[in-house]
């Protein structure tokens, strides 16, 4: 999937869209995607100016976005303005290697379980074949509560 297809599949936009390309996707099983980490990312101005490191929470968010694409592809649907894909848990998150400008972050996510609307994924982010981060992600698709005008 190229960026145009990703934009049709995810509701995220700059500066929070963290998937640049999907390299492979097997609905119901696994996805492999990439994030090109550029020095122009807005978070590098403050994290850390003297040694630029991608925040771990954004690496996990990139993995979750890849998981969302896998979920939508598995369900054969697209997001809409009436629902949102939420985290319901992040277990065992480990950060093994700093991710810095110029790195290409490979996002590998495997669906391990789906029950009663909760999706569980095993997720790993790598740079040059070395694990940068890993976690188990729990996500769900929920309807957005309607708000009536006063």
Boundaries of every domain in the chain = 3-143
What is the per-residue pLDDT across 104-150, written as a single tens digit (0 to 9) for each? 999 999 999 999 999 999 999 999 999 999 999 999 988 888 766 56
Closest CA to 86 of 63, 105, 68: 68
Can you tell me the distance from the alpha carbon of 147 to that of 143, in angstroms, rounded to the nearest whole number? 12
Residue matched to tokens 């119901």: 28
The yes-or-no answer on residue 12 being catalytic is no
Q: Which CATH superfamily is domain 3-143 in?
A: Hotdog Thioesterase (3.10.129.10)
What is the per-residue pLDDT across 13-68, written as a single tens digit (0 to 9) for each? 999 999 999 999 999 999 999 999 999 999 998 888 899 999 999 999 999 999 99
What local confidence, expressed as pLDDT, does residue 123 receive?
A: 98
What local confidence, expressed as pLDDT, does residue 150 receive?
A: 62
Question: Does the reported pTM lie above 0.75?
Answer: yes
Distances (CA, A) of 48 to 43, 76, 91, 134: 9, 40, 26, 22
**Residues 11, 17, 27, 47: which is the catalytic one?**
47
């Amino acid at each position: 999937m190229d960026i145009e297809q990703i934009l049709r599949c995810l509701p995220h936009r700059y500066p929070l869209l963290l998937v640049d390309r999907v390299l492979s996707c097997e609905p119901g099983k696994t996805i492999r995607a990439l994030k090109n980490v550029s020095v122009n990312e807005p978070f590098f101005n403050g994290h850390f100016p003297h040694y630029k490191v991608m925040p771990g929470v954004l690496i996990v968010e990139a993995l979750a976005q890849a998981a969302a694409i896998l979920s939508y592809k598995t369900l054969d649907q697209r997001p809409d303005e009436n629902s949102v894909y939420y985290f319901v848990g992040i277990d065992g998150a480990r950060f093994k290697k700093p991710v810095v400008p110029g790195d290409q972050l490979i996002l590998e996510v495997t669906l391990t379980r789906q029950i009663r609307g909760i999706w569980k994924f095993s997720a790993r982010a790598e740079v040059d074949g070395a694990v940068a981060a890993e976690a188990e992600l729990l996500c769900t698709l929920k309807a957005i509560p309607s708000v009536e005008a006063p």
